[in-house]
A and B are shown apart, each in its own frame.
Chain A
Amino acid sequence: MNQNLGNLEETILLIVAVMPEEAYGYTVSEEYVKNMGNRISISAVHTVLKRLEKKGLIKSEMGGATAERGGRRKRIFKVTKTGMNTLEFIQNNRMKLWNMMPKLNFSY
């Protein structure tokens, strides 16, 4: 569980994990805009996805082609077991810290 995940990597990994439909470059970048509020270029998404795959957190397979893609096939990504574990690990650690947060604090 000693994967070092960057902020963007973690976000993209989460997006791939939660996406209901097929996750590939274009859809991931659209999902990112929808949820995070700012734009990310498709090339940046590709880079991150490739890195995540190399770390074994996601896996990919070639999907079908559509007309709007100019007949090109999609590379569809799915989160692996390790990926899921990593996400949970991060989340647990976070929760631990959150739980330590004093409940009532008037100093804000």
Chain B
Amino acid sequence: MPGRKKHKLGRVFLYLFAWLTSLFILYPYIVMFLGSLKDLQTMYRIPGTLLPEVWHWENYVNIWKDIPLLTYFKNSFIVAVFGTALCIVCAVPGAYALARMNFPGKKTLMSLIVMTQMFSPVVLMVGIYRAMSNFGLANSLVGIVLLVAAFNQAFAVWLLSGTFATISKELEEAARIDGCNKLSAMIRIILPLAAPGIVTAMTFVFIAGWNEYTLALILIGDSSLKTINLGIRAFFGYTGTEWWYVFAASILATLPILGFFRILERHLTGGLTAGGVKG
């Protein structure tokens, strides 16, 4: 905003607000980080301790040996990556049809699709399990991938159809004159232009897949198929919570996503405002 130099007071407020929010957000992570370096006794000192009495850096080495963390990571990645891919692959043509084609019942269909966003897996738990075992997909990552794709479909379609609607029709028509059919016109002309929306949609579905917990909770039984969230939940045991495990695993689970976000930062929500707003 021009004229900002005049506002010295404004600058101070700006810094203060930024720092206060950041500190508040960081606080649980500091606690988690310090906690992950404590031993169990220090963790439960009363009153609580701020710093570890002995810094157990080896916790980060031991955790890989004590629990199958790598398997958990792998499973979470499979769910997030394939869930995202499937979701987008199904959503793109659907969104394109809704944005560009005219057919009877279009408006109703769009609202129906968007309505499905309101169903949360928690609410449908028992129904989901029943449906999935009818398909023979209980206790498999494939089942979770399909569900992640399905439960994020509404959002992706909504966002992408908004994005497609903002792309000028003429470009596409020009391509068609050049001999492209609808499909290749979409792939060559529309998709690259819709990239901001696609990236945003992908990020969202990816996060939803990575954070997925309730579906895995009811569907996954095999310990070799557990996702990271299930793994972490298991530390809340019968005889007590193994907090340092929880914290170390949590930090390790958060870092890759944070890195991924940093790379994509600019595009995380770009697509939402670029196109989705008209939905």
A, B co-complexed: no
* Residues on A facing B (Cβ under 8 Å): none
* Residues on B facing A (Cβ under 8 Å): none
